[in-house]
């Protein structure tokens, strides 16, 4: 195995997932540095996700046109330029240009090419190990990001993270000399510009609608800028994105019928193994990011931990994910992907219930760390298989397109996980809080009515101290304030447990979706024949 190349690709994978975790824990410092609002910085962060999700398919096609190694290198340069501008940014527009636009474009070029380069530079067992390492590094980046961001923001500056990214990107660029670029067979394809615009716009609009759902409300308006027939703007934005994606599909079929190069060969989606791999990637990211959204709320908002303490307590997931991904890759030479993925889903299901048991007013560190470690083990078994499953379903000529589909599924899963679990947390919080207040005997009817009126306009997951301060400022009797705060603290725990329960239940349909994963060891003659269904 080419260990040097694997280290280069692993570093690239880590770099691509580090950013968002760092920015999420640096929001307050960014607000101060740029004299802006939390909403503005959150918009910049959301814009990064939109750019990445929208351009993944185009990035994959450009790998076919210009070569995967060249596209990977170009993407690194664009990403490093974005990191440098982000580190030096002097205003919100320059921050958005550097981080959201340039780094988003760079990631959309690097990630699909990286997936295809693994398939082109490793074979058999080595390929399975390589995909396991990349999957593990993605989990490490997600978990280490808050620690690194919290430390840098607290003791130095968030800007140093992006200076470091430029240095790491330069090292990865130098390491590309160990990459092999497979010789092109046949003519060079052309880029479908209309398809690129339709897919990028459609996916970006869908992701935007999903990300805004926690602010606007899924159906019932919360902070929706416009109410349509009494409903939130969210479903209409998502529907508009779905219409654009439908137009994209029609356009691609038209080009294929005319013998022209499509952005994506939709016929690939007839491969049952590919469809199953993509659906599992979406589900895996939805569950993981949903849990990674919920747990920090418990640690930071309920228990009052800072970003660094939160990151340290999430490390067992990162460690479990990384080492189990390596072990799962080694097992792939003897055990079929379907069995390993389904075993991983069972472990994730168990871990979610273990986490539910740890959601208490006081944290039991031992139980919590065990539950987070079990989550990492389950996720490691899953991520160790899916990259190889997707790439083994297609031929060499389709690897970049498959890489684009793979990363699109991951981005959609991450966005859906954060939005859906976020909405469940808020809805569960408001419902439980209202119920606790209404049922409490020591709270007067006038106070109950005031609380119900306040909750009818929506709310957010805030610390209990903030609720106490608001109630005290409203002139409510101190005994009633104590009862309200107690009801709110109980509602917080109920809402978090509900979100983790939903995350656990998501593993059930995912178990069924895994039925079309290969039931033979990849690399055997039988398992290398893609199935069509």
Q: What is the 3-state secondary structure (H, E, C) of 134-145?
A: HHHHHHHHHHHH
Q: How far apart are CA 55 and CA 107, in angstroms?
A: 9
pLDDT band at 497 (very low <50, low <70, confident <90, very high): very high
**What whole-number percentage of the chain has pLDDT above 70?**
94
| Residues paired with 271 in a beta bridge | 532
The residues, ordered by sequence, that sit 6+ positions from 524 with a Cβ below 8 Å of its Cβ are: none
Confirm if 22 and 145 have CB atoms less than 8 A apart: yes
Q: What is the pTM of this model?
A: 0.84
Q: How far apart are CA 468 and CA 486, in angstroms?
A: 10
Q: What is the mean pLDDT of the chain?
A: 85
Confirm if 94 and 34 have CB atoms less than 8 A apart: no
Confirm if 511 and 345 have CB atoms less than 8 A apart: yes
Q: How far apart are CA 120 and CA 181, in angstroms?
A: 7
Residue 340: Cβ-neighbour burial (10 angstroms; 0-12, 13-18, 19+)? buried
Mean pLDDT value across residues 205-218: 80
308: left (phi over 0), alpha (psi -120 to 50) or beta: alpha
Q: Please state the φ and ψ torsions of residue 431, each to the nearest 5 degrees.
A: -65, -45
Which stretch, 211-215, 309-313, 423-427, 491-495, has highest mean pLDDT? Answer: 491-495
Q: Please state the φ and ψ torsions of residue 524, each to the nearest 5 degrees.
A: -75, 160
Q: Which pLDDT does position 121 carry in this prediction?
A: 87
Q: How far apart are CA 487 and CA 222, in angstroms?
A: 22
Q: Which pLDDT does position 130 carry in this prediction?
A: 85
Q: Which pLDDT does position 498 carry in this prediction?
A: 94
The pLDDT tens digits of the residues spanning 66-91 come to 888 999 999 999 999 999 999 999 99
Residue 239 has pLDDT above 90, yes or no: yes
pLDDT band at 369 (very low <50, low <70, confident <90, very high): very high
Q: Which pLDDT does position 278 carry in this prediction?
A: 92
Q: What's 532's DSSP letter?
A: B
Mean pLDDT value across residues 98-123: 89
For the domain spanning 1-180, the CATH number is: 1.20.1250.20
Q: Which pLDDT does position 183 carry in this prediction?
A: 65
Mean pLDDT value across residues 370-393: 90
pLDDT band at 236 (very low <50, low <70, confident <90, very high): very high
Q: Which pLDDT does position 1 carry in this prediction?
A: 67
The pLDDT tens digits of the residues spanning 157-192 come to 888 889 999 999 999 999 998 888 766 666 678 888
Q: How far apart are CA 434 and CA 218, in angstroms?
A: 20
pLDDT band at 242 (very low <50, low <70, confident <90, very high): very high
Which stretch, 37-51, 105-119, 466-480, has highest mean pLDDT? Answer: 105-119
Mean pLDDT value across residues 239-263: 91
pLDDT band at 446 (very low <50, low <70, confident <90, very high): confident
Q: Which pLDDT does position 527 carry in this prediction?
A: 41
CATH class of 265-521+529-533: mainly alpha
Using alpha carbons only, what angle is made at residue 122 by residues 56 and 524, rounded to the nearest 5 degrees? 105
Mean pLDDT value across residues 22-35: 77
Which tokens hold the place of 405? Answer: 């589909």
Q: Measuring CA to CA, how many Å separate 131 from each of 75, 108, 317?
A: 20, 18, 18
Q: Which pLDDT does position 513 carry in this prediction?
A: 86
Confirm if 9 and 130 have CB atoms less than 8 A apart: yes
Write b or e for each residue in 262-299: b if 16 or more Cβ atoms lie within 10 A of its Cβ, otherwise e: bbbbeebeebbbbbbbbbbbbbbbbbbbbbbbbbbbbb
Q: Please state the φ and ψ torsions of residue 311, each to the nearest 5 degrees.
A: -60, -40
């Amino acid at each position: 195995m080419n260990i040097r190349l694997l280290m280069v690709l692993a570093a690239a994978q880590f770099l691509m997932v580090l950013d968002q975790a760092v920015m999420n824990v640096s929001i307050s410092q960014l607000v101060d540095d740029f004299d802006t609002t939390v909403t503005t910085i959150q918009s910049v962060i959301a814009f990064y996700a939109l750019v990445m999700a929208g351009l993944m398919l185009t990035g994959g096609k450009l790998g076919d046109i210009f070569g995967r190694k060249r596209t990977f290198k170009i993407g690194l340069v664009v990403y490093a330029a974005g990191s440098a501008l982000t580190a030096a940014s002097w205003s919100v527009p320059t921050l958005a240009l550097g981080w959201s636009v340039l780094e988003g474009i760079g990631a959309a070029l690097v990630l699909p090419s990286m997936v295809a380069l693994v398939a082109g530079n490793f074979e058999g067992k080595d390929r399975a190990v390589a995909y396991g390492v990349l999957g593990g590094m993605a989990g490490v980046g997600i978990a280490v990001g808050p620690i690194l961001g919290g430390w840098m923001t607290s003791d130095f500056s968030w800007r140093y993270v992006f200076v470091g990214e430029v240095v790491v990107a330069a090292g990865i660029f130098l390491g590309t000399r160990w990459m092999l670029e497979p010789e092109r067979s046949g003519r060079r394809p052309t880029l479908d510009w209309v398809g690129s615009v339709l897919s990028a716009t459609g996916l970006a609009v869908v992701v935007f609608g999903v990300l805004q759902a926690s602010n606007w409300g899924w159906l019932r308006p919360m902070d929706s800028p416009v109410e349509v027939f009494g409903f939130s703007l969210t479903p209409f934005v998502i529907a508009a994105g779905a219409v654009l994606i439908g137009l994209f599909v029609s356009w691609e079929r038209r080009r294929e019928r005319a013998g022209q190069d499509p952005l994506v060969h939709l016929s690939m989606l007839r491969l049952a193994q590919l469809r199953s791999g993509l659906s599992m990637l979406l589900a895996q990211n939805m569950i993981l990011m949903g849990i990674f959204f919920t747990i920090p709320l418990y640690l930071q908002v309920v228990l009052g931990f800072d970003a660094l303490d939160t990151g340290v307590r999430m490390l067992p997931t990162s460690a479990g994910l990384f080492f189990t991904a390596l072990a799962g890759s080694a097992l792939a030479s003897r055990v079929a992907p379907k069995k390993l993925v389904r075993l991983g889903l069972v472990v994730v299901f168990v871990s979610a219930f273990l986490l539910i048991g740890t959601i208490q007013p006081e944290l039991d560190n031992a139980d919590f760390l065990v539950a987070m470690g079990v989550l990492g083990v389950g996720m490691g078994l899953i991520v160790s298989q899916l990259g190889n499953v997707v790439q083994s379903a297609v031929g060499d000529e389709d690897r970049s397109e498959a890489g684009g589909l793979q990363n699109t599924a991951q981005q959609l899963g991450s966005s859906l996980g954060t939005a859906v679990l976020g909405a469940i947390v808020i809805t569960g919080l408001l419902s439980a809080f209202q119920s606790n207040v209404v049922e409490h005997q020591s709270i007067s009817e006038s106070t109950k009515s005031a609380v119900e009126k306040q909750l009818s306009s929506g709310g957010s997951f805030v610390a209990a101290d903030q609720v106490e301060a608001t109630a005290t400022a409203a002139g409510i009797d101190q005994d009633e304030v104590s009862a309200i705060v107690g009801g709110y603290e109980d509602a917080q725990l109920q809402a978090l447990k509900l979100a983790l329960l939903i995350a656990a239940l998501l593993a059930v349909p995912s178990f069924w979706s895994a039925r079309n994963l290969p039931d033979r060891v990849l690399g055997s003659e039988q398992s290398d024949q893609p199935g069509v269904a």
